[in-house]
Amino acid sequence: MLEILKDVLMDTLLDSLKILPFLFISYIIIEFIEHKSSEKLEKALSTSGKYSKVIGSILGIIPQCGFSAVAANLFSNRVITMGTLIAVFLSTSDEAIPMLLSSPDKKGELFLILGIKFIIAVIFGTIIDLIFKNKHTAHEHSEEMHEHMHETCKDCDCEHDGIFKASVKHTIKIFAFLFVISFILGLIVEAIGMEDFEKIILSGSIFQPLVTSIIGLIPNCAASVLLTKLYIGGSISLGAVIAGLSTGAGVGAIVLLRTNKNMKENMKILGLVYVIGVFCGIVIDLIMRLV
C-alpha cells in the first residue's frame, strides 16, 4: 500500500512539475491582458446593447473569474439581459485555457474549443433573449450600478497585485489544484482500475456530457481543472469537455445566487445552462463520430 502511494505521488509530482513553467507563462500573458484592459472590457459588457451576446461571449472566454461574476451582478441589477448572462456563462472556461496552453499535445485544440464555445454562447444567448423577449430585459444602468460592477472582485477573490505577483499566486493555486486532483485520480485508478473508472465517467458513451456538465456546475476552478485534466488524459471526449466547460461559470453562479433574490429565476438560468451544455456536448460527439 505504501509503495502504491509512493508511486502515485512521484508520478503526480513529475507530471505536475512538467507543466509548471508553461502554466506560469500562460498566467503572465493572461494577467497582462487583464491589468491593461479589464476595466474597459467590463464597461463594454454593460453598454454593448444589441451586440451584448457577442461582447459577452468574447469576455467570457478570457480566463479569469471576474467577468462571469460581473455579468451576474449586472443581470441582478437588470443592466444586461438573461441571454447575455447565459452567453457569458457558456463561454467562460475558467482555468481551462492556461491548462491547455501548458499541455503541448493539446495546444492546437485550444482555439477549436474556444471557437465552438463562442458560437454556442452567441447562438443560445440570442435564442434565450428571443424566447424571453418581454421578460428579464435590461435597462439603462445608473452610475451607482457602474460603480457596483467594480465591487465584484470582492466576490470572486480577484487580485489587485502587480502582473508578476498575481501570476505567481494564480500559478501556485492552480498547480496545487492540479496536483491534488491528479493524485486523487491516480489513487482512484489504482484502486478500481482504469476500465472501471472510465465506466463511471461514461467514457465512450454518447451520454458522457450528462456527467461532465454536472461537474462543470461546481462553482470552483477545481471543476475546470478536473475536466481539462481528464480531457488531456483522453478520458473524456471533445463534446464532453465542451459540455462541462460550458456549464462551468466559475464563481459567477455563486454571485448570481447571492445578488439575485429571485431564486426561481436563478434555478431557471442554471438549468438552461446545464441543458444547453448537455445538448451541445452530445451533438458535438455525434458529429465527431460521423466525421
pLDDT at 138: 53
DSSP secondary structure code for residue 152 in this structure: T
Contacts by 231-234, CB closer than 8 A, 24 or more apart:
231/106, 232/99, 232/100, 232/103, 232/105, 232/106
* Residue 155: predicted pLDDT: 46
Q: Which segments in the chain show pLDDT lower than 70?
A: 1, 30, 33-49, 63-66, 134-161
Nearest to residue 196, comparing CAs of 232, 227, 222, 235?
235
State the total domains in the chain: 1
6: exposed, middle or buried (Cβ count in 10 Å: 0-12, 13-18, 19+): exposed
The rounded Cα 17 to chain-centroid distance in angstroms is 23
Residue 105 domain boundaries:
2-290
Residue 27 half-sphere exposure, CB side, CA atoms within 13 Å?
24
Axis crossing angle, helix 221-232 with helix 163-192, rounded to the nearest 10 = 60
pLDDT in the model for residue 69: 79
**Interatomic CA distance for residues 18 and 64, integer angstroms:** 23
pLDDT the model gives residue 243: 96
For 192-216, write each residue's pLDDT tens digit: 887 888 888 888 899 999 999 999 8
Question: For 240-283, how does the pLDDT look when each residue is reduced to its tens digit (9 = 90+)?
Answer: 999 999 998 777 888 898 889 899 999 999 999 999 999 999 99
- The sign of the CA dihedral 166, 69, 34, 15 is positive
pLDDT at residue number 89: 94
Grid cell for residue 79: 443592466
